[in-house]
Amino acid sequence: RKSVIRITTGSQALAELLGGGIETSAITEAFGEFRSGKTQLAHTLCVSTQLPANMRGGNGKVAYIDTEGTFRPDRIIPIAERFGMDPAAVLDNIVYARGYTYEHQYNLLLGLAAKMSGEQFRLLIVDSVIALFRVDFTGRGELAERQQKLAQMLSRLTKIAEEFNVAVYMTNQVIADPGGGVFISDPKKPAGGHVLAHAATIRLMFRKGKGEQRVCKVFDAPNLPEAEHVFQITPRGIAD
Ligand code: ATP
Ligand code: MG
């Protein structure tokens, strides 16, 4: 592997949990209940990735694939200010694309890979990695095909992470289980089955705590202890 960089998240507790920050040449998956902070962490990473190495940043550009329409450029401004960076320059270094179908999502990845061979990118966000698959393959009978296409997409993500020494941060949804005939989402069950589980280098489970507090727990990491830490969502991004 190329020399791995660990990018700060804005929260010391979260960084500790990750062994220093989110890793390049690897895929970090965040799953968990709605409003648990997955997208907010993506926004903070958009800025911290651009910090110089001596500020525990990645000194590189960011690619953002948004399948849910939840990226807010306005949120980047106070986060950039917090880290002492020029918000306009930070926004310029975020290559943003909205994905509309799973095929479109795949093609966006191909385009980004071409871009990454010319410029230094250090982060690729896919928020969320699975939403479009769940929309495009609805029937029970389509599950096998869905998983096969998902595996293709994930293998492309792995290739990008390793080839360009980029940190991939992808968010995942949780499964809704029929409980007494009513579908209730289970905050502890990530979607995507084994295919997704195997692609992720590190899996993080997010949940809500008190007020703006959020809890992040490491799942299935080969070289990290199963621990959890509390962080906060603030107007200036993720913090302790
Ligand atoms: P979903 O599964 O619905 O995509 P998510 O895990 O991506 O959820 P986020 O969008 O990251 O959730 O988090 C939403 C939460 O972030 C809100 O409930 C709110 O508490 C907090 N939040 C959003 N903007 C701000 C802000 N400017 N200042 C403080 N907290 C904020
Ligand atoms: Mg979100």
**Ligand 1 atom 22, closest CA:** 233
**E strand segments, 26-157:** 26-32, 61-66, 94-98, 121-127
Q: Ligand 1 centre and the CA of 6: distance in Å?
A: 24
Partners of 185 in beta bridges: 176
Which of 14, 40, 128, 205 to probe ligand 1 with, by most ligand atoms within 8 A of CB?
Answer: 40
Asked whether the beta carbons of 172 and 36 are under 8 A apart, the reply is: no
Q: Which atom of ligand 1 is nearest to the CA of 37?
A: 11
Residue 188 predicted with pLDDT over 90: no
Across the chain, the runs of DSSP E, i.e. the strands, are 6-7, 22-23, 26-32, 61-66, 94-98, 121-127, 167-172, 174-179, 182-190, 202-208, 213-219, 228-234, 237-239
Q: For strands 213-219 and 228-234, give the pairing.
A: antiparallel
Q: What is the pLDDT of residues 117-154, one digit of tens each?
A: 999 999 999 999 999 999 999 888 999 999 999 999 99
The chain-wide mean pLDDT, for the chain, equals 93
- Closest CA relative to residue 228, chosen from 210, 203, 211: 203
Q: What is the pTM of this model?
A: 0.95
Ligand 1 atom with minimal separation from the 35 CA = 12
Closest C-alpha residue for ligand 1 atom 26: 235
Residues with CB under 6 A from ligand 1: 34-40, 70, 206, 212, 233-235
% of the chain at pLDDT higher than 90: 85
Q: How far is the CA of 3 from the centre of ligand 2 (A)?
A: 30
Ligand closest in space to the Cα of 238: 1
pLDDT at 187 over 80: no
The ipTM, to two decimals, is 0.98
